[in-house]
Amino acid sequence: MGLSVARLWGSPGLLLTVALYLALTLHPVQASTPPHRDYCVLGAGPAGLQMAYFLQRAGRDYTVFERAPGPGSFFTRYPRHRKLISINKRYTGRANSEFNLRHDWNSLLSHDPRLLFRHYSPAYFPDASDMVRYLGDFAARLGLHVLYNTTIAHVTLSKDRQAWNGHYFILTDQKGQAYQCSVLLVATGLSVPNLVDFPGSEYAEGYESVSVDPKDFVGQNVLILGRGNSAFETAENILGVTNFIHMLSRSRVRLSWATHYVGDLRAINNGLLDTYQLKSLDGLLESDLTDLAIVKDHEGKFHITLKFYWEEGNQRADAITLPQDDSDNFAMRVAYDRVIRCLGWNFDFSIFNKSLKLSSVGEFSKKYPLVRGSYESKGSRGLFVLGTASHSVDYRKSAGGFIHGFRYTVRAVHRLLEHRHHRVAWPSTEHPITQLTSSILRRVNEASGLYQMFSVLADVVLVKENATAFEYLEEFPTQVLAQLETITGRQARHGLFVINMEYGRNFSGPDKDVFFYDRSVGHTEDAWQSNFLHPVIYYYRHLPTEQDVRFRPADWPLPRPTAIHHIVEDFLTDWTAPVGHILPLRRFLENCLDTDLRSFYAESCFLFALTRQKLPPFCQQGYLRMQGLVGTESLRQHRVESGALQDHAAADRHREDSGQWPGYHGPVGHPQAPGPLVQPLHSNKEEL
């Protein structure tokens, strides 16, 4: 044995050991698996940074991959004319930070009050450079883990039974470096210009590259293809220097104030509508671009003709018939100096392997990835799409494609992931049933997520056994209501309420006159006919099934409920009127739960205890636990002055001083407005 060891570590063995060491040092063996992260986020735009913030606060293992040297690279170039259409309302007259976010469309969610966009621009419609600066500070101040100058060139799957979702996502960057991820969060936005293929489409300049200097358009005839905000933004920039601008699209213009969709044409960009309707040479036309063709003449001018004329002319410019040859009043018979394409953006599917099944045939096959109501890919478990790219869930319905909307959908996705992978249940608060009315009213009057993501995110109230308490969950995606227990880790066994914000059924659309006379509804009995955004409360005895959600009535955001209540619209969006808002809501809740949600003074609870078999919940949860409402001097004096109460103050004080029952402050059994809770009434309890 000793001889063997000696031979091994003798001169030849020593040389072999040294040789192996040098070989491994100079040429190390490649790792069998790439660097691993639990969460990989593609893109350091607003949605990517928002998710990074939530992951970091939760202490999760994550990395954000960004191809540019800094965050928010989209905003370094777009919008081309630099003015954002997301409002920056710095003053509301309110100190409530949650309420103020309703009117702050640029801030991301964080715990740092310095990271509110109001500190970055005084402009109501800010400059895009302010957004770049804001996102840079957001990432830096919060210390988010972003890998800049890293372009992910390819994404594929690697099957593994040990992985969270049965597979890993393998990301490969521009240098060939691979990364392994358990969950992939895609926040790359829409970055590919939408192209329509028709004869002569190559002559159109793209929104992404056309000059933004008005001097380049002086005295020119301009045709703009498209009718969204980018098209009108481009027209607005050159409106004062061109001979005229014609705008062509296959559909009529959609005004955001009529559709109540912030992605449609905003008033800040619609100057061309004035010049069109007031007959100042500019105009709008409707036609399907695929039926047309652009012909360039020998002078470099562009003519619009029909596609079948182009085909008949064998594609030779001098042989192609123009529509005005047959109809001398053809609307587009003039020649154009410039044709500009402003047709929006599509998602970049090119980096994703087909095994991920992100795309499909259908309405959004080119524009958006295929996702569920939970923002998870339909083709790959564990792949979620965030931000603008997830807008197929609420396209032209709500604000999910914009910062003030998707900051809340990103939070919802994070809450889903926390429960799925870390057993952290969806955040909730539990309260006695007597606080149900006030809890709902607080949220509908303050919450920004409900307000901005109307009909997409809703609050859910889970009723406890015997309706003695409830659990309140905020901003749950309505399209996956049937999966609530699985997604949240909460139980819905004794009924539930869903609090949603909605516009009237027939109040939104490009053809709607939203300024019609008597458009406002003010009477509580007509609340169900409310037109403007207002709270709607759905009550279900049982959690709806997948089939209930799938086959819900047309244009309903939720399945048909057991009962439904509309809180009448309010001009001030302030649902605090005692008679118009609070009383009808409380009675609806009481009818659903078959209970009394009023608050009572101690003497009323005392009388109920002597005369009723079942006490109201307020008395059960307060008075019998040695707590109750107490009258104040101002309340007593008010009732004396109104004639509803005789002045027995002296007698009351005498009884209180002698340790007898507290002073009488109103008719027995009459509910009072909520007042401060007193400490346990030990003397009264002992007397009882």
Q: Do the beta carbons of residue 222 and residue 246 sit within 8 Å?
A: yes
Beta partners for residue 156, in sequence order? 170
Q: Rounded CA gap, 154 and 479, in Å?
A: 31
Position 317 scores a pLDDT of 62
Q: How distant is the alpha carbon of residue 684 from its chain centre?
A: 52
Supply the DSSP symbol for 92.
-
pLDDT tens per residue across span 259-269 = 889 998 898 89
Q: Do the beta carbons of residue 111 and residue 254 sit within 8 Å?
A: no
Position 638 scores a pLDDT of 65
Q: Rounded CA gap, 451 and 444, in Å?
A: 8
Q: Rounded CA gap, 404 and 134, in Å?
A: 15
Position 22 scores a pLDDT of 46
Going by C-beta distance under 8 Å and a sequence separation of 6 or more, which residues neighbour residue 16? none
Q: Rounded CA gap, 576 and 488, in Å?
A: 30
Position 619 scores a pLDDT of 85
Pick from 69, 72, 77, 74: nearest CA to 44: 72
| Helix axes 403-422 and 46-57, enclosed angle (nearest 10) | 40
Element containing residue 355 per DSSP (H, E): none
37, HSE (Cβ side, Cα atoms, 13 Å): 24
Position 630 scores a pLDDT of 54
Strands 62-65, 146-147: parallel, antiparallel or unpaired by DSSP?
parallel
Supply the DSSP symbol for 682.
H
Q: What is the mean pLDDT of each run of 10 residues along the chain (688 residues)?
A: 40 44 46 85 97 97 97 94 93 94 96 96 96 97 97 95 94 95 96 91 94 95 94 94 94 89 90 91 91 88 85 65 73 91 93 88 78 94 95 90 95 97 96 95 96 96 94 96 96 96 89 86 89 95 94 90 96 94 96 91 82 84 61 65 60 55 39 38 30
pTM of the predicted structure, to 2 decimals: 0.84
Position 614 scores a pLDDT of 82
Q: What sections of 92-189 are H helices per DSSP?
A: 97-100, 128-141
Q: Which of helix, strand or coil describes residue 646?
A: coil
Cis upstream peptide for 544 (omega within 30°) = no
Rounded (10°) CA dihedral 153, 156, 158, 163: 90
Position 396 scores a pLDDT of 87
pLDDT tens per residue across span 277-293 = 999 999 999 989 888 88
Q: Rounded CA gap, 688 and 617, in Å?
A: 19
Q: DSSP string covering 470-537, please?
A: EEEEEEEEGGGGGGHHHHH-----S-EEEEEEE--TTS-STT--TT-TT-----GGGGGG--SSEEEE
Going by C-beta distance under 8 Å and a sequence separation of 6 or more, which residues neighbour residue 589? 436, 437, 440, 497, 537, 597
The residue behind tokens 């060139």 is 153
Number of residues that this document lists for the chain: 688
Q: Do the beta carbons of residue 388 and residue 47 sit within 8 Å?
A: yes
Q: Which of helix, strand or coil describes residue 172?
A: strand
Q: What tokens does 518 get?
A: 């008597």
| Helix axes 436-446 and 583-593, enclosed angle (nearest 10) | 130
| Helix axes 128-141 and 46-57, enclosed angle (nearest 10) | 20
Q: Do the beta carbons of residue 216 and residue 73 sit within 8 Å?
A: no
SS (H, E, C) 303-351: EEEEHHHHHHCCCCHHHCCCHHHCCCCCCCCCCECEEEECCCEECCCCC
